[in-house]
Amino acid sequence: MANLQRVKVLQKIEDAGVVAVVRGESVEQAVKISAAAIKGGVKGIELTFTVPHADQAIAQLVDKFGADQAIIGAGTVLDATSARLAIMAGAQYVISPSFSADVAKICNLYQVPYMPGCFTMTEMQTALEAGCDIVKLFPGSVAGPGMVKAVKAPFPQMNIMPTGGVSLDNLEAWFAAGVIAVGAGSNLVGPGEKGDYDQVTKNAEAYVAKIKAIKQG
Say if 162 falls within a structural domain: yes
**Annotated catalytic residue 212:** no
Confidence (pTM)? 0.96
Say if 169 falls within a structural domain: yes
Say if 68 falls within a structural domain: yes
pLDDT at 5: 87
Q: Which of 24, 15, 25 is nearest to 46 (CA)?
A: 24
pLDDT at 202: 98
Say if 26 falls within a structural domain: yes
pLDDT at 60: 98
pLDDT at 54: 98
**Annotated catalytic residue 43:** no
DSSP code of residue 163:
B
Marked catalytic residue, from 136, 149, 194, 212:
136
User: What's the chain's length in residues?
Assistant: 217
Say if 37 falls within a structural domain: yes
Residues of the chain with pLDDT under 50: 1
What is each CA distance from 108 to 76, 114, 115, 150, in whole angstroms? 18, 8, 12, 28
Marked catalytic residue, from 12, 25, 46, 64:
46
Say if 203 falls within a structural domain: yes
Say if 7 falls within a structural domain: no
Structural domain count of the chain: 1
State how far the Cα of 214 lies from the Cα of 138, in Å rounded to an integer. 22
Say if 1 falls within a structural domain: no
Domain of residue 129: give its range: 19-209
State how far the Cα of 192 lies from the Cα of 11, in Å rounded to an integer. 28
Instruction: Kindly report the CATH number assigned to the domain that includes residue 128.
Output: 3.20.20.70
DSSP code of residue 194:
G
State how far the Cα of 98 lies from the Cα of 95, in Å rounded to an integer. 9
